Structure 1
């Protein structure tokens, strides 16, 4: 684990592999290892893979102030610069997709191309606000129920049904034991207030937006809206729940790799 001091925050990040820079930005309640660790072996032979933990996650330590998209974007960029992996391709997941879109607009000189998975433009949708508020409340009062909700809404119904009781219990316990619950609550407050619509309209890079057909956390309608705001963005959809990199990792790697290689050609 590496770290860089940025505006009073010790930003933790991991670096693997060699080749052109590829920065992976995790989602709410996760960190760079829990979201991306199982995929690094497929990416690191072709790219220098940089995985920052932004505030509220992993090994990053800050002063506990409210989070903003600009703050998290600055932390991700600082880690990428410290690793020497600039310019870079950029992959963001969920809240990380909003942060990645912000980076693409505000730091265009550093970005080659962008993949945005299960992303959203803002937190103003009524259903999404209800969900994030429920997550916030359960993360404080009933973490085992919050873990159940993550499994039920994070994966497609068929995928959940394919898990046996032992696998379900192992997944639930892993969520309860490994989550940074205080950090997640801070990130959820950002989920509720974020708005990157202006940045989305100003992105002038090759962009692939990926929605998830069975996503009950962030509806694919949000991904389609994000794609519609970005000039020239491509759109693809995976027949998964929100946690697509876990449900269909091979398909996700193929979509990302094919797009990045085509964009670089």
Structure 2
């Protein structure tokens, strides 16, 4: 699988679609891999050169010593784009991936064409929760949190009807390196972009899930109200709305990117 050797980390990535199409970067949530975007690949890669990657400390990307920071994760995206010779791209990030997108669009607006912030928030607190979770996985392993975390990724009724997806997500989370997960917990804990997002100039779409507990619709509405000209769409899913409503998610993103 392709690996980009950057200054201090090796990042695993996957490209799909015609190389002549504009590039769309997809950034995963905490505890998942680039495979979380599998339901979107066919629809989005038909119109874009789709660039998915495993965030540092996840999947097949390198686990470097923590803690990490959002600017560090954002710099990894810039390094990956530079490695591939891509000057400018649209960007879609979910949860932690969305926070990374907020930093990119505010700190390096020249690199971001359009921005999709899904199931995310400018501040995901309280901080003690992240400190406690990081310590727990370091001491007890990823299996100690898998069931509780995944229960917040999907609405209860959907999870009951799709037990195979619950198992798939729990396995993905359990396979995440504990040190990488803990280091990224601290990155999310320390991220507060409530003022920074007001500087974003890229056309922005905010997607929330009506049943999202970690980043509820109120967080999404705050983003949409704070980012100049941002659009807001609310889907019926929970935190991983792209998995629970894959077709509507893909259609919503495509409509925005081609507006």
> Structures share a fold, TM > 0.5?
yes
In the alignment, which residue of structure 1 is the partner of 2:205?
A: 208
In the alignment, which residue of structure 1 is the partner of 2:148?
A: 149
Q: CA deviation at 1:183?
A: 1.0
Give the structure-1-normalised TM-score.
0.88
Closer, same or farther: CA 211–170 of 1 in aligned 2, 3 Å: closer
Give the structure-2-normalised TM-score.
0.90
Q: Does 1:121 align with 2:119?
A: no
Q: CA deviation at 1:24?
A: 0.6
Q: CA deviation at 1:168?
A: 6.9
Q: Name the SS of the counterpart of 2:87 in structure 1.
A: coil
Q: Does 1:217 align with 2:214?
A: yes
Q: Deviations over 1:108-134 (max 9, x none)?
A: 1121111100111124x43xx465355
In the alignment, which residue of structure 2 is the partner of 1:51?
A: 52
Q: CA deviation at 1:149?
A: 1.1
Q: Which runs of 5+ in 1 are unaligned?
A: none
In the alignment, which residue of structure 1 is the partner of 2:134?
A: 136
In the alignment, which residue of structure 1 is the partner of 2:68?
A: 67
CA distance in 1, matches of 2:7, 2:90: 24
Q: CA deviation at 1:203?
A: 0.7
In the alignment, which residue of structure 1 is the partner of 2:34?
A: 32
Q: Deviations over 1:156-175 (max 9, x none)?
A: 122122235xx377336524
In the alignment, which residue of structure 2 is the partner of 1:14?
A: 14
CA distance in 2, matches of 1:92, 1:24: 6
Q: Which runs of 5+ in 2 are unaligned?
A: none
Q: CA deviation at 1:145?
A: 4.7
Q: CA deviation at 1:151?
A: 2.9
Q: Deviations over 1:178-197 (max 9, x none)?
A: 22222111111111111223
In the alignment, which residue of structure 1 is the partner of 2:5?
A: 5
On the 8 A contact 1:29/1:57 being kept in 2, the answer is yes
On the 8 A contact 1:147/1:175 being kept in 2, the answer is no
Count of residue pairs brought into register by the alignment: 256
